[in-house]
Chain A
Amino acid sequence: MALQDYVTTGNKDTRSGFGAGILELGKTNPNVVALCADLAGSLKLDDFIKAFPERYVQVGIAEANMIGIAAGLTIGGKIPFATTFANFATGRVYDQIRQSVAYSKKNVKIAASHAGLTLGEDGATHQILEDIGLMQMLPGMVVINPCDYNQTKAATIAVAEYVGPVYLRFGRPVWPIFMPDEKFVIGKAIVMNEGKDVTIFATGHLVWKSLEAARQLEAEGLSVELINIHTIKPLDEEAILRSVAKTKCAVVAEEHNRIGGLGSSIASLLAHNTPAPLEYVAVNDHFGESATPAQLMTKYGLDTVNVVEAVKKVMGRKG
């Protein structure tokens, strides 16, 4: 596929993709159980709860207990999805995830909504920008950050088939739907456009911004390779190295702190293999604040224009 093949078919929040995915899982997999810490509506669990009330656990505002219960449910063959906002699903319960889930190798799916700045007006207390880093540091943890409704729905279904702990990160805002409705393959990057001048590696909401940027840059005559890195761990190292071997420079775009996220992982990978100029489109080690998602994307440098600028800058650094 190429840039022109990604047609916007509508607008929906990625969390609704999760809601649709877990509803489908409810119908197809009797072992799937959903847990939530008093945010069932925000996590779009209403349809699942209505259809499968016996497989829903309302834990109240007690996230540590939720993670432990999820770990216990796996003993006996259940596939629990522990759900809440990304901040409360990671930072608040890091030790519970570390000991009861990751170290204990439990088949828990942590499904986290409202990640990143695009949570909007609630402000920095809720806008976690460190969750990818926290989760990918845990041995054995799979970290997935899908980019639109379709990919989030497909990822939700895919993680239930995978045996092992998973962190699935998605968001609140209504966002363009542009990915095809296709099976999600954990750990396999998607080359959305082939190019030879520069590679843009993007994850989550920034895939859309990068798609817009790539279209703009191609119109200006550049040849842009755009790769959708929906799985941050395990990283598709082969796809990344193959692309950079061709383009000799790259931009990484993510709605996360520049420390600890996809950018850090790709920088490390390149440094260990084929060093190449790299630029980040990410939050520069900062907390967010209250505003609309669009205003925040602009202020913190996560917009289409920032991807375009980063591409031009990194190409200028090529030898």
Chain B
Amino acid sequence: MASVEELKNIASQVRRDIVRMVNAVNSGHPGGSLGCTDFMVALYFNQMNHNKNFTMDGLGEDLFFLSNGHICPVWYSVLAHAGYFEPSELATFRKLNSRVQGHPATAEHLPGIRSAAGSLGQGLSVAIGAALAKKLNKEDKSIVYTLHGDGEFQEGQIWEALMFAPHHKVDNLIATIDYNNKQIDGDVDQVLSHRDLKAKLHEFGWDVIEVLDGNNMEAITAALADAKSRTGKGVPVFIMMHTVMGKGVDFMENEHKWHGTAPNAEQTAAALAQLPETLGDYKAG
């Protein structure tokens, strides 16, 4: 298990990777990726029992599904640093004949990915299925994790899945929402408000943990440990994780225009100057 200091060091490198990947192809989604970096690092380096020698079935290990697939730069970087594939492969992000697709995919067999995501709202259902499979494979007591965007919670399928999991007592499931209140066209509250999401989740039957600073490594690791302790009790667990879109790059923070905009060379240099290179940059392609 990594210390908080180690996790912070990894997070800094992951943020550098995100900025460099998106800049290199002048496309991709830096905002949500930066905002969820601390969560993803804590999940893979501190929380999950997972195996970098990837198998699709993942028997006996914890599984993770990214439902808001567009923030895959953070996932790719975390997977690479966790040993699923060489960090140098990050240089192929969004390029022809790459396994590192613009949105996560299984077709090219990138280790660590178990379902395509990009069209929003589907990941919770897939994760529920994987959690049910673990229950059917009776000896498998591991946990299934998901991450969602808050804009994504406007999709109807999410609410089908939110209704299903408590009803069927899917208690080996921890779903997390990146609650940054930002989506492409503006603030979530203005585009289409969830109103009181926490109350809704309670009413649907989820055990809800709220993390007020989802970019604080101590808070995130504590919340994940708390969530894990609540599994196996007949109800699914939900983490409402408040984050700052673009966290770590001052001019991107809280600006929804950085949802899907790549920084130019000058902006990239300004961003990297704020993010210490802790593990070594991958070699540019």
Contacts and interface: CB of A to CB of B under 8 A. Distances in A.
Contact of A103 (B107, B114, B136, B156): B107
A71 B56 CA distance: 12
A257 B2 CA distance: 60
Interface string A96-135: 1011100111100000000000000000000000000000
A157 B282 CA distance: 50
Interface in B110-139: 114-119, 121-134, 136-137
A62 to B, nearest CB: 4
Contact of B164 (A60, A67, A75, A99): A60
Interface stretch (A6-14, A51-59, A311-319): A51-59
Given A96-B157, A105-B106, A67 B125 contact: yes
A70 B115 CA distance: 12
B120 to A, nearest CB: 10
B136 to A, nearest CB: 6
A76 interface: yes
A268 interface: no
A275 interface: no
Contacts of B58: 75-76
A76 B59 contact: yes
A48 to B, nearest CB: 15
Contacts of B116: 99-100, 103-104
B17 to A, nearest CB: 25
B130 A75 contact: yes
Contact of A72 (B106, B107, B118, B127): B127
Nearest to A55: B136
A65 interface: yes
Interface in B43-70: 56-59, 63
A80 interface: yes
Contacts of B134: 76
Nearest to A33: B136
Nearest to A103: B116
Nearest to B131: A72
B211 interface: no
B128 A69 contact: yes
Interface residues of A, number: 32
B136 A78 contact: yes
Interface size class of B (residues with CB under 8 A): 35 or more
A90 to B, nearest CB: 16
Given A33-B136, A68-B128, A75 B122 contact: no
Nearest to B58: A75
A72 B175 CA distance: 15
B140 A99 contact: no
Contact of A76 (B106, B118, B133): B133
B161 interface: yes
Contact of A95 (B59, B119, B133, B164): B119
B136 A71 contact: no
B163 interface: yes
A72 B129 contact: yes
A67 B124 CA distance: 11
A222 interface: no
Nearest to A37: B160
A81 B57 CA distance: 18
B30 to A, nearest CB: 23
B105 interface: yes
A54 B136 CA distance: 8
Nearest to B123: A68
A68 B129 contact: yes
A105 B161 CA distance: 22
A98 B123 CA distance: 14
A75 B128 contact: no
A64 interface: yes
Contacts of A69: 125-126, 128-129, 132, 164
B161 A78 contact: no
A103 B105 CA distance: 8
Contacts of A103: 105-107, 116
Given A67-B125, A75-B133, A80-B129, A99 B117 contact: yes
B118 A99 contact: yes
A8 to B, nearest CB: 41
A41 interface: no
Interface string A74-86: 1111101000000
A75 B106 contact: no
A64 B115 CA distance: 15
A71 B161 contact: no
A54 B130 CA distance: 15
B122 A99 contact: yes
Contact of B129 (A60, A71, A105): A71
A73 interface: yes
Given A68-B157, A95-B119, A77 B128 contact: no
A69 B163 CA distance: 13
A71 B118 CA distance: 15
A121 to B, nearest CB: 29
Interface of A: 33, 54-55, 57, 59-60, 62, 64-78, 80, 95-96, 98-100, 103-106
Interface of B: 56-59, 63, 105-107, 114-119, 121-134, 136-137, 140, 156-157, 160-161, 163-164, 168
10 contacts: A55-B136, A69-B128, A73-B129, A73-B133, A76-B140, A77-B59, A77-B137, A96-B157, A99-B116, A103-B105
